[in-house]
Amino acid sequence: MGKSKKYQYDYDDYDEGKGPATMVEEILADPEFPQVTQLIIGSWGSACEDDCQEILDGIRANKDKFAHVESLFVGDMDYEECEVSWILQGNYSDFWEAMPQLKELTIKGSMDLVLGDIVHQNLEALTIICGGLPVSVIQSIKKAKLPSLKKLVLYIGIENYGFDGNKDTIKALLEESDFPKLEYLGIEDSEIQDELAEVVLESKYMKQLHTLDMANGTLTDKGGELLLGKLPSYPNIKVLDVHYHYMSEEMEEKLKALPIEVDTSESNEPEEYRGEIWMNAMLTE
């Protein structure tokens, strides 16, 4: 089994001159790195001020030395290091060809994120964690050629932090993309989660999934009713994840009575402010 290791800089490192330009060099100088198959890149010391492009370019320039890496996480940092909406990402357009062996890619942050033309024969899992996913990124995923993709998780987020689409954007993504091996679909963290539940439940992928992930959003009893009515039509679904939601206890119990594994943890109550009802997605700023 391969080794997992995280590389990161704190503020002190940044003050000493370390940053995106030095990280790849330090990774390659680590005697443990040749055994690392799961590479995790945390804060590059200045993620709110500098993007990670030099890290991506450094990996590409040394692609032979990164050929053993099968799993990559770029941007694994908490809010104390940098709020997710402030993380400056990079351009991955030239990245796909440079790492043909990669099986799993996780990206945190969507500011300045560019995926380009995605063509990759071996990638099995793609996750993007953010407070708002731009349509430009969704378009790249919609057109992606990922014949081996088994797991897709997208944090949709909210308009104030980057999501500039609507339910039709996600409908087009699910209609026009072509992921023949997809078995885990996560459409998460949205302030229109009920609308997206309707879109997902009508998608062609429902017939091939074993896990449906609609977590971390504003799912209410309206979305719960949709799930309750549709899921029995898909015996291939074995797991439903709707943790962090705004459903009633009654709806939770109905969903948990389904003959599948269901996660309804982290129930939330809507808030009222000046006569308006407010519900928040889990991850925004």
24 pLDDT band, cuts 50/70/90, is very high
Instruction: Name which residue leads in pLDDT, 4 or 15.
Output: 4
Q: What is the pTM of this model?
A: 0.96
As a whole number of angstroms, the distance between CA 224 and CA 226 comes to: 5
What's the confidence (pLDDT) of residue 155? 98
N- to C-terminal Cα separation, the chain: 36
When mean pLDDT is compared across 7-11, 131-135, 243-247, the lowest value belongs to 7-11
* Residue with token string 């680590």: 30
Q: Strands (DSSP E) along the chain, which ranges?
A: 3-9, 36-44, 71-74, 104-108, 125-129, 151-157, 184-190, 211-213, 239-241, 261-263, 271-273, 276-278
Cα torsion angle, 195, 238, 126, 23, sign: positive
> pLDDT for 68-88, tens place per residue?
999 999 999 999 999 999 999
- Residue 177 near residue 204 (C-beta atoms within 8 A): no
> pLDDT for 203-228, tens place per residue?
999 999 999 999 999 999 999 999 99
Q: Which residues pair with 185 in a beta bridge?
A: 152, 212
56 pLDDT band, cuts 50/70/90, is very high
When mean pLDDT is compared across 16-25, 179-188, 272-281, the lowest value belongs to 272-281
As a whole number of angstroms, the distance between CA 281 and CA 273 comes to: 17
When mean pLDDT is compared across 16-20, 137-141, 159-163, 274-278, the lowest value belongs to 274-278
How many other β-carbons are positioned within 10 Å of the β-carbon of residue 180?
10
As a whole number of angstroms, the distance between CA 81 and CA 31 comes to: 27
1 has pLDDT over 80 = no
- What is the average pLDDT value for the chain, to the nearest integer? 96
279 has pLDDT over 70 = yes
273 pLDDT band, cuts 50/70/90, is confident
What's the confidence (pLDDT) of residue 274? 82
Alpha helices by DSSP H, listed for the chain, are 11-15, 20-29, 53-61, 95-98, 135-142, 167-176, 193-201, 221-230, 249-256
As a whole number of angstroms, the distance between CA 236 and CA 231 comes to: 9
Closest C-alpha among 255, 185, 186 to residue 220: 255
Stretch 55-79: mean pLDDT: 97
- Residue 173 near residue 149 (C-beta atoms within 8 A): no
